[in-house]
Amino acid sequence: MTKKIAVLPGDGIGTEIVAEAVKVLDAIGEKHNVSFEYEYGLIGGAAIDEVGVPLPDKTLELCKNSDAVLLGAVGGPKWDDLPVHLRPEGAALLGLRKNLGLYANIRPAKIYPALVDGSTLKKNVIEGVDLVCIRELTGGLYFGERKREKTETGERAYDTMVYTTEEIERIARLGFETAMKRNKRLTSVDKHNVLESSRLWRDVVNEVAKDYPEVELEHMYVDNCAMQLVRWPKQFDVIVTENMFGDILTDQASMLSGSIGMLPSASVGGEVALYEPAHGSAPDIAGQQKANPLATILSVAMMLKYSFNLQSAAEEIEIAVEKVLNGEYRTADLMEEGKKEATTSQIGDLVVEQL
């Protein structure tokens, strides 16, 4: 079996973390008789510098003609002051998600036993945490109408949160399907007490729930959810929520897995899925081999599972990561007393060794 992967390293630490994920893919491919063919594409600031736009047509074509997409990260201070249509985050990342029809972002947060003591949260709170957040990715506040205009006294600006029945239904369904494969508990997060779009959200989720009588459904306000995630995160199995709420809650949930450098993600819903760490390009540590590559490595495990149906290969990567964390080496974000600091590429090598 041969699989073609579009590789988009992007900016900042993107190049370094993607290199480690590719190493791991090569190793697992050899073990499972799959050969991965990589074609590299430009995205984000790197693309602006080379060809003047953050999401070149060529990159989009490459993604559409591949079996899966692996992305590092985009953005950095160098491109922060560009006009909106050139900003790496909006134009490149959001453009790519929208163009590929990736309406669902799956972000699992689970704590590895070896990281329990290193967390900023108490051991009894995070021990055993294992949840998945399903974030709507192509609608809501990120894609609604927006404007900034001059007024007599200054300026006014607005963004709008828009959802249709269809958009809510398909993401809700994925939430229920995911819950069915896990512990059959789904928390739908909204702001039903204030927002009209949340009232539609809740109605549609309740409709879809009729098709999944085995799933225990709970509705939760987003502010309460933010609080519950740090108070008692073990109550959650699957969370489904709007784009912006999901963006915020998943950064918060990442700390339940020890570090934002541990949170992988899969964006699905179109013909080709996209795999990327949930974190950004970390320009402050770029090029220094300090970044944690594990979120990206765990993202390729998700690729094997969701795009190629290679369950056991995916699990082998997860086990290899766990073994590395049980050992003595860590990247800076996970440092604890008694551990030795390792570079990005050393961690990648250690994962490969464990395979």
Query: What gap in Å lies between CA 297 and CA 314, rounded to an integer?
Result: 10
Q: Given the complex with ligand IPM, which of 67 and 247 has the nearer CB atom?
A: 247
Respond yes or no: is residue 247 known to be catalytic: yes
Inter-residue contact 126 to 119 (CB < 8 Å): yes
Q: Given the complex with ligand IPM, which of 270 and 280 has the nearer CB atom?
A: 280
Say whether residue 317 binds ligand IPM (CB under 6 A): no
Strands 130-136 vs 104-110: parallel, antiparallel or unpaired: antiparallel
The active-site residue out of 3, 23, 191, 290 is 191
Q: Hey, CA dihedral for 244, 245, 246, 247, is it positive or negative?
A: positive
Say whether residue 17 binds ligand IPM (CB under 6 A): no
Respond yes or no: is residue 251 known to be catalytic: yes
Q: Which of 275, 278, 291, 251 lies closest to 71, judged by CA?
A: 275
Q: Least Å distance between CB 280 and ligand IPM?
A: 6
Q: Given the complex with ligand IPM, which of 8 and 116 has the nearer CB atom?
A: 8
The active-site residue out of 98, 184, 251, 323 is 251
Please compute Rg for the chain using Cα positions. Answer: 20
Q: Given the complex with Mg ion, which of 125 and 248 has the nearer CB atom?
A: 248
Task: Decide which of Mg ion, ligand IPM, none touches 268; Cβ closer than 5 to 8 Å per partner kind.
Answer: none
The active-site residue out of 67, 190, 237, 247 is 247
Task: Decide which of Mg ion, ligand IPM, none touches 280; Cβ closer than 5 to 8 Å per partner kind.
Answer: ligand IPM
Query: What gap in Å lies between CA 172 and CA 188, rounded to an integer?
Result: 8
Q: Residue number with the shortest CB distance to Mg ion?
A: 247
Q: Which of 247, 316, 333, 349 binds ligand IPM (CB under 6 A)?
A: 247
Q: Least Å distance between CB 94 and Mg ion?
A: 11
What character string, x for contact with ligand IPM (CB under 6 A) and - otherwise, covers 270-299? --------x-x-------------------
Number of residues that bind ligand IPM (CB under 6 A): 5
Q: Given the complex with ligand IPM, which of 237 and 247 has the nearer CB atom?
A: 247
Q: Which of 16, 20, 67, 89 binds ligand IPM (CB under 6 A)?
A: 89
Q: Hey, CA dihedral for 282, 73, 111, 188, is it positive or negative?
A: positive
DSSP category for residue 207: H
Instruction: Find the helix or strand (DSSP H, E) in which 22 lies.
Output: helix 14-32
Respond yes or no: is residue 49 known to be catalytic: no
In the structure encoding, which two tokens stand for residue 113, read together?
């036993």
- Residues in region 239-268 near Mg ion by CB under 5 A: 247
Query: What gap in Å lies between CA 30 and CA 152, rounded to an integer?
Result: 66
Respond yes or no: is residue 333 known to be catalytic: no
The string of DSSP codes covering 223-285 is HHHHHHHHH-GGG-SEEEE-HHHHHHHHHHHHGGGTSGGG---EEESSSSEEE--SS---GGG
Say whether residue 93 binds ligand IPM (CB under 6 A): yes
SS3 content of the chain, % helix, strand, coil (to 5): 50, 20, 30
Say whether residue 89 binds Mg ion (CB under 5 A): no
Query: What gap in Å lies between CA 14 and CA 26, rounded to an integer?
Result: 18
Inter-residue contact 149 to 296 (CB < 8 Å): no
Query: Phi and psi for 133 in degrees, rounded to 5?
Result: -105, 125
Q: Least Å distance between CB 212 and ligand IPM?
A: 27
Q: Given the complex with ligand IPM, which of 129 and 274 has the nearer CB atom?
A: 274
| Residues that bind ligand IPM in the complex, under the rule CB under 6 A | 89, 93, 247, 278, 280
| Residues that bind Mg ion in the complex, under the rule CB under 5 A | 247
Residues labelled catalytic = 142, 191, 223, 247, 251
